[in-house]
């Protein structure tokens, strides 16, 4: 797993998915978003690959994933199933898991919010999944059009989900902090009356003025 201090985990969360996605992280497809308002994750990834329509691998991952990890699950070409709900949430919290990112459906959303368990999914779906087909836990999985390796860092919030490769954690954190500082300067300059056209040195020649 990624060697990240509690302070660094908090710094990743504070910078947020959008800033880190512009600083060397890999943003997931926009379809993967918070299942309930206010959900946030900053934790190492534990990948899960399910057979289409089946969540056996997710049940195994809840039982075997290290504490404080976020499960990052691929469900193949049948996303419209409720692969996750309140039962798995209760088990995951007892195992001290940090959350779930899944490119597929979840259900019991009000209960997930009541539990305060952070879930990011591509849809809400009622129909349940089977629990009998082969899958894989650990290693890597393709989720939200991004290859996620075990130990990569996941930052998820209202803007979406960004994956920070484990081997680039320090570089992306430094780039994110630099970008944040630059944006603070932008805000000061904009409040003072400058424009984004000026600050970003934009070429306005392609714009037609009537």
Phi-psi region of 99 (alpha: psi -120 to 50; beta: other; left: phi over 0): left
Query: Does 181 score more than 80 pLDDT?
Result: yes
Q: Residues 168-180: what's their mean pLDDT?
A: 96
Q: What pLDDT, on a 0 to 100 scale, did the predictor assign at position 4?
A: 78
Both tokens of 7, joined, read: 């302070």
Give 99-118 pLDDT, tens digit per residue. Answer: 999 999 999 999 999 999 99
Q: What is the pLDDT of residues 56-94, one digit of tens each?
A: 999 999 999 999 999 999 999 999 999 999 999 999 999
Neighbours of 13 (CB within 10 A): 17
Task: Kindly tell me if the per-residue pLDDT of 2 is higher than 80.
Answer: no
* 42 in Cβ contact with 10 (< 8 Å): yes
What does the pLDDT read at residue 198?
94
pLDDT of residue 209: 87
Give CA 106 to chain center in angstroms: 15
Give me the residue spans of the domains in the chain.
6-172
Whole-structure pTM value? 0.93
Could you read off the pLDDT of 4-63 as tens digits, one per residue? Answer: 788 989 999 999 999 999 999 999 999 999 999 999 999 999 999 999 999 999 999 999
Structure tokens at 151: 């130990």
Q: Is the pLDDT of residue 98 over 70?
A: yes
Q: Which residues contact 7 (CB under 8 A, 6 or more apart)?
A: none
Q: Pairing relation of β-strands 160-164 and 153-157?
A: antiparallel
| CATH superfamily ID and name for 6-172 | Ribonuclease E inhibitor RraA/RraA-like (3.50.30.40)
Q: Residues 162, 21: contact at Cβ < 8 Å?
A: yes
> In angstroms, rounded to a whole number, what is the distance separating the alpha carbons of residues 47 and 51?
14
Q: Which two tokens stand for residue 74?
A: 């691929």
């Amino acid at each position: 797993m990624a060697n990240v201090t509690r302070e660094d985990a908090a710094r990743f969360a504070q910078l947020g998915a959008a800033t880190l996605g512009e600083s060397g992280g890999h943003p997931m497809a926009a379809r993967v978003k918070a299942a309930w308002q206010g959900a946030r994750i900053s934790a190492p990834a534990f990948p899960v690959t399910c057979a289409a329509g089946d969540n056996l691998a997710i049940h195994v991952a809840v039982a075997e994933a290290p504490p404080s990890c976020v499960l990052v699950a691929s469900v193949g070409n049948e996303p419209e199933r409720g692969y996750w709900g309140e039962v798995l949430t209760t088990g995951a919290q007892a195992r001290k898991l940090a959350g779930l990112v899944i490119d597929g459906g979840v259900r019991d959303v009000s209960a997930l919010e009541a539990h305060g368990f952070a879930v990011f999914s591509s849809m809400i779906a009622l129909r349940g999944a089977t629990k009998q087909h082969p899958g894989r836990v650990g290693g890597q999985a393709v989720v939200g059009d991004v290859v996620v390796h075990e130990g990569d860092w996941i930052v998820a919030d209202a803007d979406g989900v960004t994956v920070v490769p484990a081997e680039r954690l320090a570089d992306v954190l430094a780039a994110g902090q630099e970008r944040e500082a630059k944006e603070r300067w932008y805000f000061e300059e904009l409040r003072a009356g400058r424009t984004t056209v000026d600050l970003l040195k934009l070429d306005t020649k392609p714009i037609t003025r009537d």
